[in-house]
Amino acid sequence: MRPRQIPGARPPRTDRGRLLLLLALAAVVTVFTATVPLLRDWFDLRVYYGTVNSWIHDGGRVYDYRVPGTPYGFTYPPFAAVVMLPMALVGLRTAIVTALLLDLAALTFAARVCVGPRWRRYGWYGAGLAACALALFEPLRDTLSFGQVNLLLLALVLADAGLLASGRTRWVGVGIGLAAAVKLTPALFIGLLLVARRWRAAAMATAVAAAATAFAALVAPDASRFYWTRALWDTTRVGRLEYVSNQSLQGVLARLGVESRAVWAVLVLAALVWWAWRARRAVAARDWQAAFALTGLTACLVSPVTWVHHLVWLLPSFAVLIRAGRPRVAGALYAVLCTSVVWLWFDDASGVDGFLGSNVYTWITLGLLVWLPVGHPPEGRRPASRSTSATAAPPSAAAPAISAASGQPGGSAAATATETLAPAGGEAAAEAEAGTRSASGPGPGTGRGRRGARSASSEPTGSTRPAAAKPQSSNARASS
């Protein structure tokens, strides 16, 4: 069906009008990012850079380095430090520029995988709208500003998702294995391959992760021994679990004052059981994008620490929502994740408002895990085999409207711009495909509330409020 438009709003019909609209949106985004979010000053990249240079040039130990004036140091597995060794050959500014370019390349690749084979139809106008929307997304802003590795890991994992969806399965598992060797959270995608009974791919991912870890042990034996025997299990290296940036199930419990590991374990087990059931349904429908999106959501929930910038793993979920014909839901949730609203409870997360507000990103992640639509494979990635008795699905009634509306803004700004992240299939097309498949088998922007004076600080939490007695770096984690 034709998407509804905002009353009184007319999308530009000429290239000139579209260009002017994009320039206006870019100006708004620029003003927003210059006045509301706080620049993180590439704090985590400084951790990586200082660690590698101390290790190579000063003979220091990987896990002993601390950023001057802070208690923050390197907390990733040793293979991550090995991968970052080229930083020792360049200056900090070069490392920052290189990291930004790699992040942009990874984001472009991830967006293309999420959009699917019809990405060309959106053109420069759709790409511009998507860029404006992505620039507002708080987890993405933080990833770039901290100099984090989240986008690179997302691209590695989505590379395997693309291979599975296209049927080119020979090298599936390599991306997941490398990502799991750099940080532990992506290891849950190996679990997805097991749930999907992709034994060869699961074995490939496990072998790649093990080989990378073994290689790091050869290059840095002392660091490897320390990490796997002590650092990984030292909870003091993770940071304050109750810190408002921790948007995981553990973070919710910590802000409630619940310290029981048993309660957390029960919640994690429940989340994993629900994920396995829903992921299995998505795989049965050959909806690999939804399966990978569900796994990213679950990884954020079950990890003991999920800083706000880790929520870039939610991006595939918005593409799935739009593809399933729910752009307004996607736009509303996406808009909330652009507001930095959780920081309103930086000082005090008590009370009902604190329980609801300080955990709002967790509620979004949990809601997506429960209700994310599955069984809507992108066009061009439908199952190739069909029963000879199956009849062809009739042309989608949504196709003319979608074709006419492609490249045109409609609905909320977030929903419109985000729509470029996935092909618009519509519910009618999904139902027609489901009918065909049944014959052959199963197939917001308050910013940070501006409650405190904004200052140009490199405080690693990114809060606009005065620093806590023991502020937590987004990098201070052992298992994320």
Q: Is the pLDDT of residue 34 over 80?
A: no
Window from 90-99, 184-193, 396-405, 419-428 with minimum mean pLDDT: 396-405
The span from the CA of 80 to the CA of 212, in Å, is: 9
Mean pLDDT for all residues in the chain: 80
Give per-residue pLDDT as tens, 376-424.
766 554 444 433 333 344 444 333 333 333 333 334 444 444 444 444 3
Amino acid found at 445: G
Give per-residue pLDDT as tens, 346-370.
999 999 999 999 999 999 999 999 9
The span from the CA of 216 to the CA of 223, in Å, is: 9
Give the residue among 333, 332, 293, 331 at the shortest CA–CA distance from 313.
293
**Structural contact between residues 36 and 340, judged by C-beta atoms closer than 8 angstroms:** yes
Query: pLDDT-derived band of residue 375, with 50, 70 and 90 as boundaries?
Result: confident
Amino acid found at 356: L
Please list, in sequence order, all residues whose beta carbon lies within 8 angstroms of the beta carbon of residue 406, skipping any fewer than 6 positions away: 121, 122, 126, 424
Give per-residue pLDDT as tens, 289-345.
999 999 999 999 999 999 999 999 999 999 999 999 999 999 999 999 999 999 999
Coil, helix or strand for 375?
coil
Query: pLDDT-derived band of residue 40, with 50, 70 and 90 as boundaries?
Result: confident
151-168 mean pLDDT: 94
Assigned token pair, 13? 């019909």
pLDDT of residue 237: 67
Percentage of the chain modeled with pLDDT above 70:
74
Assigned token pair, 249? 């199930």
The span from the CA of 138 to the CA of 144, in Å, is: 10
Window from 15-29, 204-218, 267-281 with minimum mean pLDDT: 15-29
CA angle 286, 317, 118 (to 5 degrees): 65
Give the residue among 112, 207, 200, 208 at the shortest CA–CA distance from 162.
112
The span from the CA of 206 to the CA of 349, in Å, is: 40
pLDDT of residue 313: 97
Please list, in sequence order, all residues whose beta carbon lies within 8 angstroms of the beta carbon of residue 126, skipping any fewer than 6 positions away: 406, 407, 420
Query: pLDDT-derived band of residue 31, with 50, 70 and 90 as boundaries?
Result: confident
Query: pLDDT-derived band of residue 116, with 50, 70 and 90 as boundaries?
Result: confident
Q: First and final CA of the chain: distance in angstroms?
A: 42
pLDDT of residue 230: 86
pLDDT of residue 121: 75
Helices and strands (H, E) in the chain, number of each type: 21, 0
Q: What is the pTM of this model?
A: 0.78
Q: How many CB atoms lie within 10 A of CB 329?
A: 18
Assigned token pair, 288? 């690999």
Per the listing, tokens 């593409």 go with 319
**Structural contact between residues 315 and 422, judged by C-beta atoms closer than 8 angstroms:** no
**Structural contact between residues 154 and 110, judged by C-beta atoms closer than 8 angstroms:** yes
Mean pLDDT is highest, among 245-259, 392-406, 419-433, for: 245-259
Window from 140-149, 175-184, 427-436 with minimum mean pLDDT: 427-436
